[in-house]
Amino acid sequence: MMKWVNCEKMNVLGWIVIVTEILLFSGCAGIQPTVKYQPSEQPIPKSQWPLGTATSSEECGVCHQAIYREYAFGFGADLQFKGIVYKSTQDMILNLPANVSARGTAHFLAGVDPFPIHARGVEEEGKSCDVCHFPEPFKIMDIEELNIPGTIPKPVARPKSQEAGGMTCASCHLTPEGIIRGPYDVKAPHQTVQIGRMRTSDMCAYCHSLGKRVVGKQTQTFLEWREDFNKPGLGRQYCQDCHMPRTLRKSAEDFDVPVRAVARHLWTGGHSSQRLRTALGLVAIQPKEGKPELEFHIINIGAGHSVPTGSNRRAVYLKADIVDSRGNSIVNREWMFAPWYGDRPDEKAFLEEDKKRPDAESAIQADAQGPHEATIRAGEERILSWAPELKTDNYTVRASLVYDLNRYNERTFTDDQTVLSSTSLSVKVE
Q: Which of 25, 68, 340, 395 binds ligand HEC (CB under 6 A)?
A: 68
Task: Give whichever of 149 and 327 is closer to ligand HEC, judged by the CB atom.
Answer: 149
Assess 85 for contact with ligand HEC (CB under 6 A).
no
| Closest C-alpha among 416, 426, 417, 371 to residue 84 | 416
Inter-residue contact 91 to 411 (CB < 8 Å): no
Return the residue of 10, 63, 77, 429 that touches ligand HEC, per CB under 6 A.
63
Instruction: Answer yes or no whether residue 163 interacts with ligand HEC by CB under 6 A.
Output: no
Among the listed ranges 1-9, 115-123, 349-357, 391-399, the one in contact with ligand HEC (CB under 6 A) is 115-123
Interface stretch with ligand HEC, choices 262-270, 285-293, 344-352, 381-389 (CB under 6 A): 262-270
CB-based contact 376:224 (threshold 8 Å):
no
Is residue 192 a contact point for ligand HEC (CB under 6 A)?
yes
Of the pair 286, 365, the CB lying nearest ligand HEC is at 365
Buried-exposed string 354-376: b where 16+ CB fall within 10 A, e elsewhere: beeeeeeebbbbbbebeebbbbb
Cα–Cα distance measured from residue 83 to residue 88, given in angstroms and rounded to the nearest whole number? 13
CB 297 within 8 A of CB 204: no
Return the residue of 76, 182, 281, 388 that touches ligand HEC, per CB under 6 A. 182
- CA-wise closest residue to 225 among 148, 317, 152: 152
- Nearest distance from C-beta of residue 393 to ligand HEC, angstroms: 37
Of 286 and 375, the one with the shorter C-beta distance to ligand HEC is 375
How many residues belong to the site for ligand HEC (CB under 6 A)?
Answer: 97
Dist. CA 305–CA 284, nearest whole Å: 23
Instruction: Give CA–CA dist 53/40, Å, rounded.
Output: 24
86: contact with ligand HEC by CB under 6 A: no
Q: Side chain identity at 340, as an amino acid letter?
A: W
Give the C-alpha separation, 156 to 89, whole Å: 34
Minimum distance, C-beta of residue 417 to ligand HEC, in the bound complex (Å): 12
Interface residues for ligand HEC in 307-336 (CB under 6 A)?
307-311, 313-314
Residue 400 binding ligand HEC, by CB under 6 A: no
8-state DSSP, 340: B
Segment interacting with ligand HEC, rule: CB under 6 A, options 93-101, 273-281, 344-352, 390-398: 273-281
CB-wise, 107 or 372, nearer to ligand HEC? 107
Region 285-304 residues binding ligand HEC, contact defined as CB under 6 A:
302-304
Query: How far apart are alpha carbons 34 and 20 in whole angstroms?
Result: 8
User: Is the distance from CB of 18 to CB of 58 less than 8 angstroms?
Assistant: yes
Of 51, 76, 94, 120, which lies in the binding site for ligand HEC, with binding defined by CB under 6 A?
120
Output the smallest distance, CB 195 to ligand HEC, in A. 7
In the range 25-54, which residues lie near ligand HEC by CB under 6 A? 44, 49
Considering only residues 142 through 161, tell me which ones interact with ligand HEC, judged by CB under 6 A.
Answer: 154
DSSP secondary structure, 143-173, as one string: TTGGGSSS-BPPPPBPPGGG-TT-S-HHHHH
- Interface with ligand HEC (CB under 6 A), residue from 103, 158, 271, 377: 271
Residue 409: count other Cβ atoms within 10 Å of its Cβ: 19
- C-alpha–C-alpha distance, residues 354 and 363, integer Å: 6
Local structure of residue 71 (DSSP, 8 states): H
Give yes or no for residue 135 binding ligand HEC (CB under 6 A): yes
The sign of the CA dihedral 309, 151, 129, 357 is positive
Q: Which of 85, 102, 119, 294 binds ligand HEC (CB under 6 A)?
A: 119
Shortest separation between residue 219's beta carbon and ligand HEC, angstroms: 5
**Binding status of residue 137 toward ligand HEC by CB under 6 A:** no
Q: Which of 7, 10, 18, 60 binds ligand HEC (CB under 6 A)?
A: 60
The residue range among 3-11, 95-103, 203-211, 382-390 that interacts with ligand HEC, by the rule CB under 6 A, is: 203-211
